[in-house]
Amino acid sequence: MSVHYPSELDHHNGDQERVRVSRTGTKTVGIKKLQRGTGETLWQQLQADLQRRLREGEFTDAFPGELDLRDQYGVSRHTVRAAVRALREEGIVVASRGRSTRINTDAEITQPLGALYSLFASVEAANLRQRSIVRRLDIRADAHVAIRLGLEESAPLLYLERLRLADEQPLAHDCAWLPASIASPLLGADFSHTGLYDELASRCDIRLTGGSEQIRAVVPNSVQHKLLGTTPDVAAMKVERIGTANGTPVEWRTSLIRGDRFSVLADFTARSGYSLNLSATNMP
């Protein structure tokens, strides 16, 4: 059986999506036809379709090379290089001299400043597989946390401790306390693949509307390094948060996040700028 390698004009014919066989003999399913005159360049369309295929679980073994992509889509190598360059700039794929392009398994999770931030949502948005190992989920007392939440020192608290994974690699050690009086229904939730805020809304009818948090760099101890799977030369970011619902504290959370996989992002304008509240802290 002969295999047809399409020319750059082939994308003007045929179905919107097709099955092709690459020069290596690998079948590729659901390739989107690229079209001229749509307002997007061919390389932008190619970039978008490669992102879609990544989301749908293709390229688990290897990312296709330039010649394969040229043959699959019927475009020039210049078009392929522009699309792959854009993916590389976004951190989706990586490439270096002498090595083929490959999927970036160490994608960075970005937290927007000034927003109600969910680590679960951000991991999902980065096209990484989200999973948590639940280490503790129970009711307990903690005088220090209760005071932070404006409660009596002996008030029962729901405690949730998780090791957060992204693509099966440790990302964060996360501990959250909430008043048991409102959060006890969470004892029935499976937090291995769900967000705390989603469960809080659906099971307790509580939706966070604001809060405050402090983010600072720390040096993990040996136990924390082992938990996060980091080497001694990797720092971490410690996030401490009070989450509120209509001004009432409902969550105290501490998160230790790998510094090599986490960053914060601030938007600003020429008129208003932005400000960060920097305060001195006692480093551990």
Least confident segment among 108-112, 164-168, 221-225: 108-112
Looking at residue 193, what is its pLDDT?
Answer: 86
Strand pairing category for 262-265 and 109-112: parallel
Confidence at 60, pLDDT banded by 50, 70, 90: confident
CATH number for the domain formed by residue range(s) 10-103: 1.10.10.10
Least confident segment among 12-21, 57-66, 225-234, 253-262: 12-21
- pLDDT at residue 201 is higher than 80: yes
CATH classification for the domain delimited by 109-265, as one of 1.10.1020.10, 3.40.50.300, 3.40.1410.10, 3.20.20.140: 3.40.1410.10
The answer to whether 218 and 236 have CB atoms below 8 angstroms apart is yes
**Cα–Cα separations (whole angstroms), residue 76 to 3, 6, 13, 160, 256:** 19, 11, 17, 52, 46
- pLDDT at residue 48 is higher than 80: yes
Q: Is 210 exposed, middle or buried (0-12, 13-18, 19+ CB in 10 A)?
A: exposed
The answer to whether 193 and 130 have CB atoms below 8 angstroms apart is yes
Q: Is 236 exposed, middle or buried (0-12, 13-18, 19+ CB in 10 A)?
A: buried
Q: What is the rounded average pLDDT of the residues 248-270?
A: 82
**Coil, strand or helix at 19:** strand
Q: What is the rounded average pLDDT of the residues 4-31?
A: 45
Q: For the chain, state the CA radius of gyration.
A: 24
Domain boundaries along the sequence of the chain: 10-103, 109-265
**Cα–Cα separations (whole angstroms), residue 102 to 62, 91, 92, 106, 281:** 6, 11, 9, 11, 41
Strand pairing category for 210-218 and 130-141: unpaired
114-156 residue pLDDT tens: 544 566 666 666 666 778 999 999 999 999 999 999 999 999 9
Looking at residue 156, what is its pLDDT?
Answer: 98
Looking at residue 89, what is its pLDDT?
Answer: 72
Q: How far apart are CA 50 and CA 44, in angstroms?
A: 10
Residue 126: which of 89, 92, 101 has the closest Cα?
Answer: 92
Which residue in the block uniquely carries the two structure tokens 């305060």? 279
Residue 263 vs residue 84, higher pLDDT: 84
* pTM of this structure: 0.58
Looking at residue 276, what is its pLDDT?
Answer: 47
Q: Which two tokens stand for residue 46?
A: 């190619």
236-257 residue pLDDT tens: 989 899 999 999 999 999 999 9
| Percent over 70 (pLDDT), the chain | 70
Strand pairing category for 169-179 and 156-166: antiparallel
Q: How far apart are CA 23 and CA 6, in angstroms?
A: 11
DSSP 115: S
- pLDDT at residue 176 is higher than 90: yes
Please provide the size of the chain in residues: 284
The mean predicted confidence, pLDDT, of the chain is 79
Strand pairing category for 17-21 and 109-112: unpaired
Least confident segment among 64-68, 100-104, 161-165, 192-196: 100-104
The answer to whether 73 and 87 have CB atoms below 8 angstroms apart is no
Q: Is 267 exposed, middle or buried (0-12, 13-18, 19+ CB in 10 A)?
A: exposed
- pLDDT at residue 234 is higher than 70: yes
